[in-house]
Structure 1
Amino acid sequence: MNEQKTIPAAPARQVHGLRPVEKAARLTGWALLLAGLGHVLRAVWEIRLWTAGEPASGPPDRGEGAHRPLNGLEDSYHVVTSLLGAATLVCAVFFIAWLWRVRDNSVALSRESPKYTGLWVYLGWVLPVANLWIPRGLIADAYRKSVPGRKLPAVVTVWWVLWLVGLLSGTGLFFRDGADEMIERAYTEIGPVLFSEAAMAGAAVTGFLMVRAVTAAQLERIASLTPAEPPAEAPTESPAEPSAAE
């Protein structure tokens, strides 16, 4: 997994295998902000649930598969949660597509094998324990191979810490509680719920900044290895024809 093989360095201005990354980065950034907005919106609904207080009939989930009918506020919370789930799925698709491109470009620029094999681009997010460091490692490796000698931006670490906090505190991408369980938590323990939502929203914003920083550094390196186009020649004026009077 961590073995690296060095490939002979490609001469400057002859970099092959580069993939367009700017559009993918832009889509990923907007998808991250959309997911962050979803967490903010759900936090608003959780505050509304906490303010309204738990109904006398108790929590929606009665256990053993029994559920009471939802009131209007609880039903709308389910809708908000479903929208957040859809936004998160879109964000995950765009993010992985961007990560593939950045990783491939780093290999083309450095002519070195990546630190992690391609399988980890997917498994790194879902495999327990490994998902605590591999996704950040993939991005850090791609950055360092793209711009060797340059310090990794602090926003990469800030994004990853916020992501882990949100993930481990119970409202992240892989949380186990369903919407009914989250409603009960909003009624009874609003503080931890809002803390987790804030962490995920913060991870989305810093993720947006991280994607921009990594992409900008890679594009700068690519531009430095790409021949500049010659300046357009100014049109030459044709000599004026002599007039009939002359």
Structure 2
Amino acid sequence: MDQLSARPLALRPIRVSGRLAAGGLLTAGLAWVVRGVWEIRLALAGEPASGPPDQGDGVHRSLNSLENSYHLVTSIGGAAVALSALLFVSWLWRLRDNARALSGDRPKYLGIWVYLGWIVPVVNLWFPRGIVVDAFRSSAPGRRLPASVDVWWALWLIGMLSGVGIVYRDSTDELIARAYHEAWPLLVSDSAVVGAAIAGFFAVRAVTAAQAERMRTAGAVGVAPVGVS
């Protein structure tokens, strides 16, 4: 085993962080459900006779009340995702540090990837999942990876790569126009995001529980519990 140091590494409380991360995921998922409902409302209402909000050549018509409320819904959804991301990254950092303390091994991924792994192209297709998997296996050696981890990541990738989910290129006005004419791609992507949030909730709970259990039984020299988990 590649031992990091003779100096004891402290274990950090994980349960509260896990609950916050799981709750953040559900909040983001709920925000995306509301967004999907508004897209259905737009599709049922149909495009006004005045045409789409973005009329080209820099011309935008005044929005009606339903379109204005969709702008509000997407803004709230974006805020919910940002909060969920902060809570998740905070949990992931603790998870990684605790796994290092429990196993005595260097993590497979450098700490900077806890942040950059989500935004650097190409590596963001597997690094975040890899960090979770590495921490789980270091925390609970011999245990099978919870299936919810793979379901979460597969649905996350669908929502990210679809171009209309978590990471979308169109402006809100362009999304409104798409909802008027062809809402189903938006709704499929929304479903993937919501599914990822639900699967992520179960994944965080399962991985947190496994590490907390190992922390309770950790008695090896060089592992120093700190606080209450």
Same fold (TM over 0.5): yes
What is the distance in 1 between the residues matched to 2:4 and 2:119? Answer: 34
| 1:6 and 2:5 matched | no
1:17 is paired with a residue whose SS is strand
Q: Map residues 10-159 of structure 1 onto 2, 5 A cutoff.
A: 16-159=9-152
Number of aligned residue pairs: give it: 220
Q: What is the percent sequence identity of the aligned residues?
A: 57
Partner of 1:234: none
Deviation of 1:167 (Å): 0.8
Q: Map residues 190-205 of structure 1 onto 2, 5 A cutoff.
A: 190-205=183-198
- Of structures 1 and 2, the one with the larger relative CO (CA 8 A, separation 6+) is 2
1:125 is paired with a residue whose SS is coil
| 1:183 and 2:176 matched | yes
Q: Map residues 208-223 of structure 1 onto 2, 5 A cutoff.
A: 208-223=201-216
| Partners of 1:35 and 1:204 within 8 A in 2 | yes
| Partners of 2:54 and 2:173 within 8 A in 1 | yes
RMSD of the TM alignment (CA)? 1.7
For residue 222 of structure 1, what is the amino acid of its counterpart? M
| Partners of 1:15 and 1:109 within 8 A in 2 | no
Structure 2 residue ranges without an equivalent (≥5): 221-229
| Partners of 1:50 and 1:188 within 8 A in 2 | yes
What is the distance in 2 between the residues matched to 1:64 and 1:23? Answer: 51
| Partners of 1:32 and 1:207 within 8 A in 2 | yes
Which TM-score applies when normalising by structure 2?
0.92
| Partners of 2:166 and 2:193 within 8 A in 1 | no
- Judged with a 3 Å threshold, the aligned counterparts in structure 2 of structure 1 residues 226 and 171 are, in CA distance, closer, same or farther, namely farther
Structure 1 residue ranges without an equivalent (≥5): 228-246
What is the distance in 1 between the residues matched to 2:190 and 2:161? Answer: 11
| Partners of 1:15 and 1:225 within 8 A in 2 | no
